[in-house]
Structure 1
Amino acid sequence: MTLQTFTDEPEHVSALRATLQRFLAEHAPREARQAWDRAARWPRDVYSKLNALGLTALTVPEEFGGAGQDLVAAIAVIEELAAGGPCLAGPFIHTSFYGGMNLSENGSPEQKAQFLPRLAKGELFFAYGLSEPNVGGDLASVETRAVREGNDIVINGAKRWCTGADWADYIYCLVRSGPPEDRYKNLSFVLVPTDAPGVTMQDIEHVNLRYTHSQDVYFDNVRLPTSAIVGGEAMWNQGWKLLAGRALDVEKLEISAVALGIARAAIDEAWGYAQERVQFGKPISQHQAIRHKLVTARTKWQAARHMLYHAAWLANEGRPCSVETSMAKLFVADMGVEIALICQQVMGSYALSDAYEMERHVRDLLGMPIVGGSSDMQKNNLASLMKL
Structure 2
Amino acid sequence: MDFALTDEQRMMQESVRALMAREAPPEKIREWDQAHEFPDEVWRKLGAQGWLGLTIPEEFGGTGASVLDTVLFSEQLSYCATGLSAAFQRSACYGGTVISRVGTQEQKETYLPPIASGESMVAVALTEPGAGSDAAALQTRATRDGDHYLINGQKVYTSGADQADWLIVAVRTDPSAPAREGISTFIVPTDLDGLEIRRMDKLGNWMVSTCEVYFDDVAVPAENLLGDLNGAWQSTLSSGLDAERLIIGSHCTGSAQRAFDVARDYAVSREQFGRPITSFQMIKQKFADMAASIQGARLMTQHAAWLVDQGLPARKESSMVKMVASEMWNDVVYEAMQACGGWSYMMESELQRQYRDARLYTIGGGTSEIQRLIIAKELGL
Cα 1:69/1:25, change in 2 over 3 Å: closer
SS of 2:289's equivalent in the other structure is helix
SS of 1:154's equivalent in the other structure is strand
Which residue in 2 is equivalent to 1:208? 204
Are 2:352 and 1:359 equivalent residues in the alignment? yes
Are 2:78 and 1:82 equivalent residues in the alignment? yes
Q: Give 1:119 deviation, angstroms.
A: 2.2
Which residue in 2 is equivalent to 1:328? 321
- Once the two structures are superposed, the pairs formed by residues 1-388 of structure 1 within 5 Å of their partners are 8-180=4-176, 182-231=178-227, 235-243=228-236, 245-388=238-381
SS of 1:76's equivalent in the other structure is helix
Q: Give 1:87 deviation, angstroms.
A: 2.7
Q: Give 1:180 deviation, angstroms.
A: 4.5
- Looking at structure 2, the residues matched to 367 and 177 of structure 1 have their Cα atoms a distance apart, in angstroms, of 30
- Looking at structure 2, the residues matched to 220 and 351 of structure 1 have their Cα atoms a distance apart, in angstroms, of 45
Q: Is the 8 A contact 2:141 2:171 kept in 1?
A: yes
SS of 1:191's equivalent in the other structure is strand
Q: Is the 8 A contact 2:159 2:208 kept in 1?
A: yes
After the TM superposition, list the runs of 4 or more consecutive aligned residues in structure 1 that deviate by more than 4 angstroms.
none
- Looking at structure 2, the residues matched to 196 and 132 of structure 1 have their Cα atoms a distance apart, in angstroms, of 20
Q: Match of 2:275, as an amino acid?
A: K
- Looking at structure 2, the residues matched to 51 and 114 of structure 1 have their Cα atoms a distance apart, in angstroms, of 16
SS of 2:161's equivalent in the other structure is coil
Higher deviation after alignment, 365-374 or 152-161: 365-374
Q: Match of 1:22, as an amino acid?
A: A
Q: Is the 8 A contact 1:174 1:187 kept in 2?
A: yes
- Looking at structure 2, the residues matched to 328 and 364 of structure 1 have their Cα atoms a distance apart, in angstroms, of 18
Output one character per residue of 1:348-386: Cα deviation in whole Å (capped at 9) or x when no partner. Answer: 111100232111111111221111110000011111122
- Looking at structure 2, the residues matched to 46 and 27 of structure 1 have their Cα atoms a distance apart, in angstroms, of 6
Q: Is the 8 A contact 1:334 1:369 kept in 2?
A: yes
TM-score, normalised on structure 1?
0.94
SS of 1:212's equivalent in the other structure is coil
For this pair of structures, how many residues does the alignment match?
380
Q: Give 1:192 deviation, angstroms.
A: 0.8
Q: Is the 8 A contact 2:47 2:53 kept in 1?
A: no
Higher deviation after alignment, 188-197 or 68-77: 68-77
- Looking at structure 1, the residues matched to 327 and 87 of structure 2 have their Cα atoms a distance apart, in angstroms, of 24
- Looking at structure 2, the residues matched to 301 and 82 of structure 1 have their Cα atoms a distance apart, in angstroms, of 14
SS of 2:188's equivalent in the other structure is strand
Q: Is the 8 A contact 2:43 2:118 kept in 1?
A: no
SS of 1:66's equivalent in the other structure is coil
Q: Give 1:334 deviation, angstroms.
A: 1.0
Higher deviation after alignment, 215-224 or 39-48: 39-48
Q: Is the 8 A contact 1:326 1:382 kept in 2?
A: yes
Q: Give 1:225 deviation, angstroms.
A: 1.2
Which residue in 2 is equivalent to 1:3? none
Q: Match of 1:348, as an amino acid?
A: G
Structure 2 stretches of 5 or more lacking a match? none
Structure 1 stretches of 5 or more lacking a match? 1-5
- Looking at structure 2, the residues matched to 365 and 330 of structure 1 have their Cα atoms a distance apart, in angstroms, of 13
Q: Is the 8 A contact 2:44 2:119 kept in 1?
A: no
Q: Give 1:252 deviation, angstroms.
A: 0.6
SS of 1:215's equivalent in the other structure is strand
SS of 2:169's equivalent in the other structure is strand
SS of 2:132's equivalent in the other structure is coil
CA RMSD of aligned residues (A): 1.5
Q: Match of 1:383, as an amino acid?
A: A
- Looking at structure 2, the residues matched to 82 and 39 of structure 1 have their Cα atoms a distance apart, in angstroms, of 19
SS of 2:185's equivalent in the other structure is strand
State the percentage of identical aligned residues: 34
- Looking at structure 2, the residues matched to 62 and 245 of structure 1 have their Cα atoms a distance apart, in angstroms, of 25
- Looking at structure 2, the residues matched to 140 and 94 of structure 1 have their Cα atoms a distance apart, in angstroms, of 20
Q: Is the 8 A contact 1:105 1:246 kept in 2?
A: no
Q: Is the 8 A contact 2:38 2:207 kept in 1?
A: yes
Q: Give 1:286 deviation, angstroms.
A: 0.7
SS of 1:319's equivalent in the other structure is coil
Q: Is the 8 A contact 1:86 1:210 kept in 2?
A: no
Q: Match of 1:326, as an amino acid?
A: S
Q: Match of 1:292, as an amino acid?
A: Q
- Looking at structure 2, the residues matched to 26 and 276 of structure 1 have their Cα atoms a distance apart, in angstroms, of 26
